[in-house]
Chains A and B, each alone.
Chain A
Amino acid sequence: MGVEANRSRLVATLARVAGGDRAALKTVYQDTSAKLFGVCVRILNDKSEAEDVLQEVYLTVWRKAPSFDPARASPITWLVAIARNRSIDRLRAVAGGRRMEPIETAGEVRDPAPAAVDLVQAAQQSSRLGACLEQLESRQSIAIRSAFLDGNTYEELAERMGVPLGTMKSWIRRGLLKLRDCLER
């Protein structure tokens, strides 16, 4: 199935979920759980925590489906946002499990870190965002991608990239402002 067909199918199925159709929720689960579980595991760095959160995610989908507006959000983005928010809320509530391995910045990479591989894939698959990220300094764009994918706080990112907290805040905030200008164009 093509991307558009997938999207229409998911929108239609979410509409059935909104109407209280449990079989439809199972269909949504079958179509999206691997993606959302991947998102949860990536952030929580712990499969058992991720499994707990995955349950909360689909119960939230069940509850919130009536408020999903296909004119405003793509269905998979909406689902990913729920999975990320639930995972990050859980990560902030528990100690440990955070991804704290150092992030290499592109210019210094000899052996590409996983974050760098992700970077290339993300850029290829989402051209508009990718093009806008390209316009940032590489360390800014790496910090933004790592923050999104791993759910780190400013403090954790500063530690992982070996820079002072103020520098990290500045990189990301200025990066986000530039990104917004670019995305709005």
Chain B
Amino acid sequence: MSDDGTNIPGQGGRLVAAEYVLGVLDAAERQSAQQRMARNQAFADEVAFWEERLGALADAVEPITPPARAWTRIAGSLRMRDGAAPRESLWQSLAFWRSFAIGSAALAAASIGALTFIEITPLPRAPLLATLDSTSGQPSFVAAVNAGGTSLLVVPASLLAPDQRAFELWLIPAGEAPHSLGLIEPGQPVRIDVPRELVARITTDAALAVSIEPPGGSPTGQPTGPVIASGKLASL
């Protein structure tokens, strides 16, 4: 090619590093550059050179304060990765009661659905309930565990836009990595059978969370996408 400067001897690799940092490569070329960085130190050094030098161009970008919920989401994801950290009890949470006081019809309907679900089962142990607050602090799902801990009903409490990505539900026992409970629907209640080995772990020490995953669910068995809602299980 004579039009693009790549015919200059010895400059091909350098140019790709610069083009990667500049951001002009397409998806496949970017992926190949990222793989090359991982195995070729000279190439990685060249990328670092350009990042350091061109980085000053970002001075021209106007800062924009992100919404407060952005940090809540990040903190929630960290908790998920490291296992559930102790949280304020749901029943002491002002935000929880306020959400009822505000009278979100959707939440009320979801809660009634969840309570009905709980009461039709016998009571060998106390049933559990969790509201999964979205990052904006609004409840987005209500989850009810039946008294035996063998089955779970997840009811959307607010409308989420249809999304081709999957919503995956996670159980996070205290101090443990998340366990997948399967995929849920943003637009309708879903009943989930709890895997036998997890039944004993569904306790008030555990939390539930929903993350966004590629279609079909997380490819790794651990959350890979953003956490959109989370909440601690509490005894009724």
Contact = CB atoms under 8 A, between A and B. Distances in A.
A34 B90 CA distance: 31
Interface stretch (B16-24, B121-129, B148-156): B16-24
B56 to A, nearest CB: 3
A135 interface: no
A80 B227 CA distance: 23
Contact of B23 (A151, A167, A176): A151
A174 B14 CA distance: 12
B21 to A, nearest CB: 8
A128 B56 CA distance: 9
B64 A122 contact: no
B55 interface: yes
A81 interface: yes
Interface stretch (B2-10, B171-179, B187-195, B196-204): B2-10
Nearest to A89: B30
Contacts of A24: none
A152 B226 contact: no
Interface stretch (B45-53, B91-99, B106-114, B138-146): B45-53
A113 interface: no
Contact of A37 (B52, B63, B81): B63
B25 A153 contact: yes
Contacts of A167: 3
B61 interface: yes
Interface string B64-86: 11110011011101100100000
B11 interface: yes
Given A54-B66, A73-B48, A177-B11, A39 B27 contact: no
A176 B19 contact: yes
B15 to A, nearest CB: 6
A121 B22 contact: no
Interface string A20-62: 0010011001000111011101110000001110111011001
Interface in A121-137: 121-122, 125-126, 128-130
19 contacts: A26-B75, A37-B65, A39-B58, A41-B64, A43-B23, A50-B66, A51-B70, A54-B74, A58-B74, A74-B55, A122-B57, A128-B56, A148-B57, A152-B23, A173-B15, A173-B19, A176-B22, A177-B5, A180-B18
A161 interface: no
B70 A33 contact: yes
B73 A55 contact: yes
B26 interface: yes
A92 B26 contact: yes
B22 A148 contact: yes
A100 interface: no
Contact of B51 (A52, A73, A183): A73
Interface in A162-185: 166-167, 169-170, 172-174, 176-177, 179-180, 183
B5 A173 contact: yes
Given A33-B70, A35-B63, A152-B23, 12 more contacts: A33-B66, A34-B63, A51-B70, A55-B74, A81-B21, A89-B30, A121-B60, A128-B56, A144-B22, A148-B54, A170-B3, A176-B22
B59 interface: yes
A118 B226 CA distance: 32
B53 A176 contact: no
Sorted from nearest, which 5 A-B pairs have the closest CB atoms? A126-B56, A173-B5, A77-B55, A118-B60, A34-B63
